[in-house]
Amino acid sequence: MKLEKPVILAIIVLVAIAAAAGGYYGYEIWKEKQPLKIEKGDFAEIYYIGYLENGSIFDSSFGDENITVTTPFDEGNYSLTPMKIYVSDATPSKYPDGWVAGNYNVIKGLWEGIIGMKEGDEKTLTIPPENAYGMPVKEGVVFLTNFTGVPLKFMITEVNMTNVTMNMKW
């Protein structure tokens, strides 16, 4: 039995369509199993330890527990509170379920540093002052504040990094 040329062509086209559909379906299944990566505009919950160059911890997900910079993020041994972050410097237009409207913005260096991370990843970020809270703390720095309700000008006169203290004059 000899098949006509159009029938052979139709069979080839059907086989090609079936192969392409199977490949696409396989790719979609593979893609669903890949861990999600944090992208700009996402909401994320992270565990963290914030510390200075000298190892002094200034904040963490561990609350009041006595920890070091190498303490593992072990939910079985510690009561951890995640930091909720909106990964952007903009204000979100809506919030995911379980999140209430609030300030989820953090310093730029932190949210930029977690972009691309996947669930379970651990990363150490070194954040320069310009991507954190501004100028480095050093003697002679002058800054303005109105924390008393009255604008005041302060100058840092002495920085003691071993005790994390500083003297100021105004």
Tell me how far apart the alpha carbons of residues 93 and 109 are, in angstroms, rounded to a whole number: 22
- What pLDDT is stored for residue 169 in this prediction? 59
In this structure, how many other beta carbons lie within 10 angstroms of the beta carbon of residue 98?
A: 8
Exposure class string for 5-20: b at 16+ Cβ within 10 A, else e: eeeeeeeeeeeeeeee
User: Rounded mean pLDDT of 63-86?
Assistant: 88
Q: For residues 85 and 96, what is the distance between their CA atoms, to the nearest angstrom?
A: 12
Which pTM was predicted? 0.59
Condensed to tens digits (0 to 9), the pLDDT of residues 33-71 reads 767 899 999 999 999 998 888 888 888 999 878 899 899
Residue 153 has pLDDT above 80, yes or no: yes
- Indicate if the pLDDT at residue 164 is higher than 60: no
Q: 88 or 25, which is more confident?
A: 88
In whole angstroms, give the CA distance from residue 107 to residue 110. Answer: 6
Which two tokens mark 118?
Answer: 């996947």
Report yes or no: 85 and 46 within 8 Å, Cβ to Cβ. yes
pLDDT at 152: 80
pLDDT category of residue 96 using cuts at 50, 70 and 90: confident
In this predicted model, what pLDDT tens digit does every residue of 99-146 receive, in sequence order? 877 666 688 899 999 999 998 899 999 998 888 877 667 788 777 777
Question: How far is 65 from 139, CA to CA, in rounded Å?
Answer: 32
Of the listed ranges 7-16, 78-87, 139-148, the least confidently predicted one is 139-148
